[in-house]
Structure 1
C-alpha cells in the first residue's frame, strides 16, 4: 500500500520568498514615493527656478515651452537673468491642485519672497505619461512670457539690473521670465532718475510698466546758474544806461556822465527748470540790479550822485543734452550765455 507523503517546504526557501516579496514591496513603495517627490509637477517648477537663478535661460525656456514676445531679450539669459533672480528667496512649490476641468492638468502655486515681500506665482503643467511603469512625466502648458515696458525722457538708454538698455523714442520693452525683479534707473551729467523696481509674478496681456522720473542734476542746475551769472556780469560791465542785449535799463531826462555809470548785481535769479512739451524749459528769471551814476539837471546844471535799485525780469531758452547745456536769454536780444 502506497502512502503519499508531502515533503515540507524548507524554511530557508520560505524565508527567501518572503524576503523577495518584501523587497519588491519596498521597491514599489520607494518608486511611488519618489514619483510623488522627484517626478511631481512641483519638482519641475523648482527645477525651473533653479535654472533661472543660475542664468540658464535656454534651459529654462525649453522647460517652460513659452513664446518670447518682441523686445530686447537681454534679461532672458546670462548675468542679467541671474540678477533678476537675486531678490527671489525662500522659493517653495508645495501646493498642487488638480484642474477641475481637466484631470491631466495640475496648477502649482509657488510661494517666495521678492525683496523681502511675500509673493506667489502659478504654473500649469500637463501629465504626459509615465516612464519605467511608475514615474509620471509632466510638461508646462505652453504660454507667453510677460513683458516689462520701460519709459524715460531725455536719455537714450537706461540701466536695468546693471545692464545698459537702449531706448527707442524713450521706450524699451523687455520680455522676462517669472518670477523676476527688475530695477531700472539712469544717471548722466545733467539728468538722473532714481531706481524704480517691479516684481513680475506671471504672464499678463499688458506689460508691467516702469516710468522713470527724470530729474535735473545739481551739476545741470549749477551749469545754468554759472552761465546766467556770467551773462549778467557781462551786462553789468557796460557803462551805459541801457546795456545792450541785457534785461536791465535806467531812464532819465537828466544828462549823465557815462564815466560815472556803474551797474552791479544785488541778487541773481533763482534757477528753476521743468520738463514741458518734450523739452526742458527755464522758468522766468528775475534779477535785482543797481546803477550808480551822476545826473546833471539840464535846467540848473546841478549834479547829483544817485544809486537806483530795481528788479528786472527776463526769460531764456535752454538747449540741452545729457552732457551739455546752452542758455540763450530771450529778452534784450539773442546774446548767448556762454
Structure 2
C-alpha cells in the first residue's frame, strides 16, 4: 500500500543512484585520461613510436618525429630495406620512466634499453613538452638534434658492402649518416682482395663519426696468381742455356771452356710469396730461389772435361701492379717485362 511520501522517496533514491553513477563515470573518465596521458601521450611512448618507424624502415617519418638534421654523407642507411637491416639486431626494446631535467621543467629524458646483436645496450632521448592536445593530453616533441654518422675506411677497393648494400668509396672512405640505435656491418670481397666483416653499434649522437676500418687481406687467388707468374718467370730463366740468363738472378762464373749444349738450369726451390700493404701499395717481400746448374767444363790448360753440378741460392725482388681483379709482376733483375 503506497503512502503519500513513497513516490518522492523513490524519486530521490533514483536521482541519487544516477548521481553516483555519473560520479563513477566521471571518475573513470578522469582515470582514463590520466592513464592515457601517462602511456599513449607520454615521452616514452614517442620513443617507442620512433623505434617502430625505424624497424619498419620508415626513415622519413622517423626523421620528422625526431626533428633531426642529417650530416653530410651517403644516406643509404636512412630509409627502406637498408634501414630495416640496421635494426634487425635490435631486440627487447623497452623504456624507463621519463625523468625531469634540472633547470628546465619542460624537458624529460627517456632511457631505452635493448639488446644489440645479443649485447645489452641503451640510448637516451630528450623530449620537450609542447602543450596540450584535446585540452587534456600532453604533447611531447623530440629536442632537435643531429644524427650520428659512421665512417667506413678500406684500401684497395672502390666499394664495400654495408648491411648487404654496396656503397661507393671515395679515396677509400665513405661516411653514412645513421639513426640510433643502429647496427652496421661492413665487408668486401673481390677476386684479389677481401676484408672480414666488421660491425659497430651506434647508440647515441656524437660530434665525430664512429669508424669502421676494414683490414684488407690478399685472397688465395691473388697469392696464387703471383706465385704462378713468378714460377713462369723463373722457368723461363731456367730454359736459357747460358751461364748468365738474360734478365734473371742466376749467374755462374768460370775460367774453363763450357759447351753451351751441356748447360742445364733446374729450379730446386721456388720462392715463398709474402705480400703486404705498405705506403699505399701492395708489395712483395724479397724473393729467394734455389737453382741447380749442371754443365761440362773443359780445362783450358789440360783439355780435361769435367761434368759439374752446382747448387746455389739467388735473391731478387719484384714489383706489383694490382687491381681488384688483375695483377702484374715485374721482376727487378734486368728490366724484365711483366710476367703475364
Do both share a fold (TM > 0.5)?
A: yes
**Partner-residue secondary structure (3-state), 1:95:** coil
Give the alignment of 1:154-303 within 5 angstroms: 154-303=156-305
**Partner-residue secondary structure (3-state), 2:150:** strand
2: distance between equivalents of 1:335 and 1:45?
Answer: 65
Structure 2, unpaired ranges of 5+: none
Which residue does the alignment assign to 1:314? Answer: 316
**Partner-residue secondary structure (3-state), 1:307:** strand
2:26 to 12, 19, 24: 24
Which residue does the alignment assign to 1:104? Answer: 106
TM-score (norm 2): 0.97
Whether 1:126 aligns to 2:128 is: yes
Deviation for aligned residue 1:21:
1.0
Q: Any runs of at least 4 consecutive aligned residues in structure 1 with deviations exceeding 6 A, and if so which?
A: none
Deviation for aligned residue 1:17:
1.3
1: distance between equivalents of 2:322 and 2:245?
Answer: 27
Given that 1:246 and 1:333 are in contact with CA atoms closer than 8 Å, whether structure 2 keeps it comes out as no
Given that 1:95 and 1:110 are in contact with CA atoms closer than 8 Å, whether structure 2 keeps it comes out as no
**Partner-residue secondary structure (3-state), 1:224:** helix
- Residue by residue over 1:202-251, the C-alpha shift from the partner in whole angstroms, topping out at 9 and shown as x without a partner, is 10011100111111000000000000001100111111111111111111
Structure 1, unpaired ranges of 5+: none
TM-score (norm 1): 0.97
Higher mean alpha-carbon deviation, 275-284 vs 75-84, is at: 275-284
Deviation for aligned residue 1:326:
0.2
Which residue does the alignment assign to 1:55? Answer: 57
Deviation for aligned residue 1:94:
2.1
Deviation for aligned residue 1:95:
3.1
Instruction: Please give the root-mean-square deviation of Cα atoms over the aligned residues, in Å.
Output: 1.2
Deviation for aligned residue 1:7:
5.0
Given that 1:245 and 1:335 are in contact with CA atoms closer than 8 Å, whether structure 2 keeps it comes out as no
Whether 1:147 aligns to 2:112 is: no
**Partner-residue secondary structure (3-state), 2:105:** coil
Deviation for aligned residue 1:180:
0.1
1: distance between equivalents of 2:261 and 2:136?
Answer: 107
1: distance between equivalents of 2:323 and 2:234?
Answer: 24
Count of residue pairs the alignment pairs up? 334
**Partner-residue secondary structure (3-state), 2:241:** coil
